[in-house]
Structure 1
């Protein structure tokens, strides 16, 4: 699909220090794109450059074919963003906040306000004062504000901070609804890896300001190596048989069991080979590496913040 957001060699230097180093990736419409990185990796700096809060040292950010560097005002019409916490007037109602925010953009009609209220599930509480809203409802109202002008890209920096599990799930469901019904590309920065697995179509992992990988979570789930434990009658004999038959497989004997790392699809083939050799199999157990496990491997054990 045609990308709605393109980063091309985006770099940020402060003095001699390089905060973001030649970062390049594309995000198409209708995708939830996760942005991960350990402390100091450059996530927030990158987001601030995309939305024009800080300047780039070099490189280019292009939104719907418009350069953020050269045509800033026009580029920003295609972006909605919440960086840190959504800003709103707590003494006003949710609806009054949306009306006030709509005045900043031309062409936002009452019908559009009603659309985003329904889209974010705020109909029942929209006329209450924001000070009575839960944190989750304020986040949803913030997203409603950010999409009033029909942006092509929605950027959310740590949107799940402070939310309880129910609020996180609620936000996740509404973001998915946004991509499906509005065709918006959503970029989410978060430290909650388990939530990113459920929320995102792809993730970009950066470390030290450099891009490590952009990965489809579906591809990750399908292709990632699986840890397999086999409880078998003769581990030494099974080990010899499997090492001779599968040269590319990581195999070890742990206690009275075999431990393998391989593609889950190969389990039936392994079982048939052991049964053919007249070995008794008492159990086969598998566990796939989570996004957190893979992230820690790729970043040398550094956690995301």
Structure 2
């Protein structure tokens, strides 16, 4: 993946948060390179939002370090924040002003943002045709895009979005996904996304970090997941009981279940020809074989013991 060879722009080193003797985030460490969409997943109370709030300086760390473009958030907060754009809650904007007026107002908080840059981000998020309308007329998806435009005006190296798909319809979610991809490609920004929609994270992200109980469980590449030889194999057969018996007698440690008229097998895709030959030899009628990689949701539930994301 292209991002893995690029400069690391965000580093978390042993980031910890304790409140009232309770550890909310426990020695969290990971790196995010430029040009990558990095997903942040965890079940209820895992510490996702707390971690994001520490990265952007909304709450203090008990210990550890967050480094953005080589600058410490703890020691050089103001300088570190010049490298970060974020939407932690809903995008803040004045609904009685136009989208363009909101961007001009926000640009005044930073030095050196020219009109050309405002026009550039408007085009980047696809709001050229509506930017001079009042925000109160915008759909939720358009407001989300305006929020992204606002967050990247000052050319940050890291864009952090906490639950950016909340309230969006499927078309709005797809639009957002496309714009985030465009941002990483055209601006070289590292995008960190926290979301409870696992299927969307699978489509949106290059890698995901999974935390539980404030601890890092795993960081994995979704490309590696897709290319993994491990698969779920579904086989339509005429006699499921016989097929089950043949396969369990012939292949040791095969994880297999009967689902109606189908067998569900978790195995290496390379075993599919052997499985088919065994069933044909045993005169089991086969009506179809389909394999798919384990979804992010499947893997997440395995790693967290069934706890769902919120």
TM-score (norm 1): 0.92
Which ranges of structure 1 fall in alignment gaps of 5 or more residues?
none
Q: Report which stretch shifted further, 30-39 or 249-258.
A: 249-258
Instruction: Give the superposition deviation at 1:217.
Output: 1.3
1:203 pairs with 2:221: no
Q: Which residue of 2 aligns with 1:281?
A: 286
**Counterparts in 2 of 1:255 and 1:292: CA distance versus 1, 3 Å:** closer
Q: Which residue of 2 aligns with 1:75?
A: 80
Q: Which residue of 2 aligns with 1:219?
A: 224
1: CA distance, partners of 2:195 / 2:267: 30
1:94 pairs with 2:99: yes
| DSSP-derived class of the 1:218 partner | helix
Q: Deviations over 1:96-115 (max 9, x none)?
A: 11111111111111111110
Q: Which residue of 2 aligns with 1:270?
A: 275
Instruction: Give the superposition deviation at 1:281.
Output: 3.0
Q: Deviations over 1:130-189 (max 9, x none)?
A: 111111111101100100111010000111111111111111111111011001000001
TM-score (norm 2): 0.91
1:193 pairs with 2:198: yes
Q: How does 1:143-154 map to 2 (within 5 A)?
A: 143-154=148-159
RMSD: 2.1
Q: How does 1:212-251 map to 2 (within 5 A)?
A: 212-223=217-228, 224-231=230-237, 236=242, 239=244, 242-243=247-248, 246-251=251-256
Alpha-carbon contact 1:232-1:283 (below 8 Å) kept? no
Which ranges of structure 2 fall in alignment gaps of 5 or more residues?
none
2: CA distance, partners of 1:256 / 1:158: 40
Equivalent position to 1:37, from 23, 36, 42: 42
Q: Which residue of 2 aligns with 1:295?
A: 300
| DSSP-derived class of the 1:105 partner | coil
2: CA distance, partners of 1:137 / 1:234: 51
2: CA distance, partners of 1:132 / 1:37: 34
**Counterparts in 2 of 1:242 and 1:83: CA distance versus 1, 3 Å:** same
1:59 pairs with 2:64: yes
2: CA distance, partners of 1:254 / 1:100: 59
Alpha-carbon contact 2:236-2:261 (below 8 Å) kept? no
Alpha-carbon contact 2:141-2:172 (below 8 Å) kept? yes
Instruction: Give the superposition deviation at 1:240.
Output: 6.0
Alpha-carbon contact 2:99-2:132 (below 8 Å) kept? yes
2: CA distance, partners of 1:254 / 1:104: 60
Q: Report which stretch shifted further, 198-207 or 115-124.
A: 198-207
Q: Which residue of 1 aligns with 2:134?
A: 129
**Counterparts in 2 of 1:74 and 1:244: CA distance versus 1, 3 Å:** same
Instruction: Give the superposition deviation at 1:90.
Output: 1.2
2: CA distance, partners of 1:207 / 1:196: 17
